[in-house]
């Protein structure tokens, strides 16, 4: 059999500061090939990639590590493909747990075909009959991030008011719906009027464009808040600290405002963490204790909620060869919902 094209997205130029350049930071290489029938699997699995996840946390991996030693950062290697979570379909398998045609979730290189150890992938068992894409969104790590954080830090505060920054993003859009199902008053913020309308469609009680809103005036009317779910840090976090109740809770899930230009915001209200006895928690969906507590209930509940239309998933698609544009778009906050790279059609 003649070699098959195996295009890849290659890390081409180190970022020192600022946003990724779609034409320089990464390049689309369509000259790579693979022999699908004879490539050595080494006891593993050959997977055809269908969809890849594009996430804000990929930006620091395009630069030199900020930390070394114990706190060393994981970065991409120049001249090598990017990598992230994705969905694919088994083409060949030397592992009894996987058969040709199985849909799988795993951590993959940004290539059209990849050979991976069986331990690095898991079969997608779609009992709820939802779209496959949902397993890269609300039924996957994005949904788990919103669900685990909600169950661990928010659910017990039913009836209170939560402000969700980046409410039209991947995690925020799922979280708005979980919080409404759980009986909270939801305030959402985003950077465009279009996204404000989208948040209201998802159920937010109040939504605002942070670029055109005076936050002190807004929260004098709509606040105070009891919980702040942070995706951005910077001025939004500082405003939340100014308008949060005594005994309030801050949940840190991201800090996109400083990722591209440095975390140097001059906070004015940080002392309120102490003065108002706030509970401040940062978390990662990959924290083992959260999966131990909440993964089983997530698997039981969330796919069914998606199937029943009680949780809607939003996707923002980009063709594989335009991955560089998607990297820039998500860093500028221009995506609506989950940013997904389409490598091949199902």
CA 337 to the chain's CA centroid:
9
Q: Same structural domain for residues 147 and 124?
A: no
**310: pLDDT strictly greater than 70:** yes
Does residue 291 form part of some domain?
no
Cα 100 from Cα 103, distance rounded (Å) = 9
Give residue-wise pLDDT tens across range 236-269: 999 999 999 999 999 999 887 766 666 788 999 9
**70: pLDDT strictly greater than 90:** no
Does residue 328 form part of some domain?
yes
Percent of the chain exceeding pLDDT 90 equals: 86
Q: Same structural domain for residues 52 and 119?
A: yes
Q: Same structural domain for residues 230 and 253?
A: yes
Give the orientation angle of helix 170-181 with respect to helix 193-201, to 10 degrees: 40
Does residue 305 form part of some domain?
no
Q: Same structural domain for residues 12 and 125?
A: yes
Give residue-wise pLDDT tens across range 121-156: 999 999 999 999 999 999 999 999 999 999 999 988
- DSSP per-residue codes, 177-205: HHHHHTT-EEEEEESSHHHHHHHHHTT-S
- What would the mean pLDDT of 260-288 be, rounded to a whole number? 91
Q: Same structural domain for residues 262 and 169?
A: yes
Q: Which domain holds residue 244?
A: 141-282
List, as own/partner pairs, every contact residues 70-78 make where C-beta atoms lie below 8 angstroms and the sequence separation is at least 24, other chains included. 76/11, 77/11, 78/11, 78/12, 78/13, 78/14
Give the pair of three-digit tokens for residue 260.
């591209």
3-state class percentages of the chain: helix first, strand second, coil last, to nearest 5: 30, 25, 40
Write down which residue in 258, 282, 306 finishes a domain: 282
Does residue 289 form part of some domain?
no
**29: pLDDT strictly greater than 80:** yes
Contact 165, 232 (CB under 8 A): yes
Q: Same structural domain for residues 98 and 220?
A: no
Does residue 110 form part of some domain?
yes
**297: pLDDT strictly greater than 70:** yes
The number of beta carbons lying within 10 Å of the beta carbon of residue 293 is 14
Give the per-residue pLDDT at 333: 86
How many structural domains comprise the chain? 2
Write down which residue in 282, 299, 332 finishes a domain: 282
Give the per-residue pLDDT at 259: 66
Does residue 239 form part of some domain?
yes
User: CB-based contacts of 320: which residues, under 8 Å, 6+ apart?
Assistant: 7, 9, 28, 52, 110, 112, 341, 342, 343, 344
Look at residue 171 and give its three-state secondary structure: helix
DSSP-derived pairing of the beta strands 338-342 and 315-319 = parallel
Give the per-residue pLDDT at 1: 67
Give residue-wise pLDDT tens across range 170-184: 999 999 999 999 999
Distances (CA, A) of 208 to 180, 189, 198, 279: 17, 5, 11, 25
User: CB-based contacts of 239: which residues, under 8 Å, 6+ apart?
Assistant: 215, 216, 219, 269
Look at residue 144 and give its three-state secondary structure: helix
Nearest 5°: phi and psi at 253? -120, -10
Q: Same structural domain for residues 129 and 149?
A: no
Pick the residue with more confidence: 68 or 273? 273
Contact 138, 202 (CB under 8 A): no
Vertex 20: Cα angle to 199 and 284 (nearest 5): 55
CATH of the domain at 215: 3.40.50.720
User: CB-based contacts of 331: which residues, under 8 Å, 6+ apart?
Assistant: 19, 20, 56, 59, 256, 259, 260
Q: Classify burial at 74, counting beta carbons within 10 Å of its beta carbon; exposed 0-12, middle 13-18, buried 19 or more.
A: exposed
Q: Same structural domain for residues 123 and 199?
A: no
Q: Same structural domain for residues 129 and 147?
A: no
Does residue 216 form part of some domain?
yes
**91: pLDDT strictly greater than 90:** yes
Q: Same structural domain for residues 75 and 148?
A: no
Write down which residue in 282, 300, 324 finishes a domain: 282
Q: Same structural domain for residues 237 and 148?
A: yes
Task: Choose among 206, 162, 202: nearest CA to 184.
Answer: 162
Q: With bands split at pLDDT 50, 70 and 90, how would you rate the model's confidence at 284?
A: very high
The number of beta carbons lying within 10 Å of the beta carbon of residue 260 is 18
CATH of the domain at 62: 3.90.180.10
Q: Same structural domain for residues 100 and 72?
A: yes
Does residue 300 form part of some domain?
no
User: Could you say which DSSP state residue 266 is in?
Assistant: -
């Amino acid at each position: 059999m003649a070699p098959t094209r195996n295009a890849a997205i290659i890390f081409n130029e180190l970022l020192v500061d600022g946003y990724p350049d779609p034409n320089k930071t990464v390049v689309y290489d369509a000259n790579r090939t693979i022999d699908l029938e004879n490539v050595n699997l080494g006891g593993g699995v050959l997977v055809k990639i269908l969809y890849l996840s594009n996430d804000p946390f990929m930006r620091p991996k395009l630069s030199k590590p900020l930390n070394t030693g114990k706190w060393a950062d994981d970065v991409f290697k120049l001249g090598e493909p990017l990598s992230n979570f994705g969905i694919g379909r088994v083409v060949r398998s030397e592992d009894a747990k996987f058969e040709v045609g199985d849909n799988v979730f795993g951590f993959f290189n940004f290539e059209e075909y990849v050979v991976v150890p069986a331990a690095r992938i898991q079969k997608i068992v779609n009992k709820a009959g939802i779209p496959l894409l949902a397993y890269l969104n609300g039924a996957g790590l994005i949904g788990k991030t919103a669900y685990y954080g909600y169950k661990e830090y928010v659910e017990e505060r039913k009836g209170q008011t939560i402000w969700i920054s980046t409410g039209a993003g991947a995690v925020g859009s799922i979280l708005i719906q979980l919080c409404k199902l759980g009986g909270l008053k939801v305030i959402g913020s985003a950077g465009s009027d279009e996204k404000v309308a989208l948040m209201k469609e998802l159920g937010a009680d109040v939504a605002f464009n942070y670029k055109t809103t005076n936050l002190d005036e807004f929260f004098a009317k709509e606040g105070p808040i009891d919980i702040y779910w942070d995706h951005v840090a910077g001025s939004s976090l500082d405003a939340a600290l100014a308008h949060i109740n005594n005994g309030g809770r801050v949940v840190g899930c991201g800090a996109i405002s400083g990722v591209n230009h440095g975390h140097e915001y001059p906070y004015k209200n940080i002392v309120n963490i102490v003065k108002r006895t706030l509970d401040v928690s940062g978390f990662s969906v990959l924290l083992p204790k959260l999966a131990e507590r909440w993964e089983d209930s997530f698997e039981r509940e969330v796919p069914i909620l998606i199937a029943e239309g009680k949780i809607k998933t939003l996707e923002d698609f980009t063709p594989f060869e335009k991955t560089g544009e998607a990297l820039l778009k998500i860093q500028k906050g221009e995506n609506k919902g989950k940013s997904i790279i389409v490598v091949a059609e199902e």
